[in-house]
Amino acid sequence: MELLKQRILSEGRALSGHVLLVDSFLNHQVDVNLMKAVGEEFARRFANAGVTRIVTIEASGIAPATMTALAMNVPMVIMKKAVSSILSEGILQREVFSFTRNAPYLLTLKARFVRPDDKVLFIDDFLANGEAAFGAIALIEQASARVAGVGTVIAKAFQPGMRKLREAGYRVEALAPVSRMGEGFIEFE
């Protein structure tokens, strides 16, 4: 997605070979018009995939997932990273390791919000090692639903997540797949 790649090149900052800062338009300050375009692009790419539901993980995935759900006219479900005191009955959980936080969290889904006849598109802001995506997929399949695919705004294609998801048979669409980066440069596939 050219518009997105240009924005990453002009405002993104590779802090190292594996940390890409895009907090001026994607995950701290959010350009909602860009997110609308992102949602429409995911909707276009998965138009024939029979998607009935968007699933994301709090918090940075919510804006692009909201726009994708709006473009596809389906509900959106936010998987939680911790159990609040309100959630209790009928929940599915799976431990996921976060490399950003260097700690595990309990990915949590109320089972009734993903149904056995659903075809689910998982949307997130970043795909790197694939921990979050594989955790989300496990919960979706535990709810007996099918996975239509994974849509990520940015993929760090030099990390193993995208390859492993495709090897496992899942369709992955990355709007900006970064092949290589470092101080002062960002390259796309």
Residues that bind its own copies (CB under 8 A): 15, 19, 21, 23-24, 27-33, 35-36, 58-60, 62-63, 66-67, 69-70, 73, 75-78, 80, 84-87, 100-102, 110, 113
Residue matched to tokens 């997932």: 65
Q: Which is nearer to its own copies, 9 or 15 (CB)?
A: 15
Q: Which is nearer to its own copies, 136 or 165 (CB)?
A: 136
Whether the CB-CB separation of 133 and 141 falls below 8 Å is answered with no
Shortest Å distance, C-beta 145 to its own copies? 13
Q: Which is nearer to its own copies, 165 or 178 (CB)?
A: 178
Residue 84 tokens, joined: 């609040």
Spatial CB neighbours of 79, under 8 Å, sequence gap ≥ 6: 55, 56, 57, 58, 107, 108, 109, 136, 139
Shortest Å distance, C-beta 33 to its own copies? 7
Cα separation values, 6 from 2, 10, 11, 148, 167, Å: 6, 6, 9, 28, 29
Q: Which is nearer to its own copies, 151 or 165 (CB)?
A: 151
Shortest Å distance, C-beta 168 to its own copies? 26
The 10 Å Cβ neighbour count of residue 41 is: 21
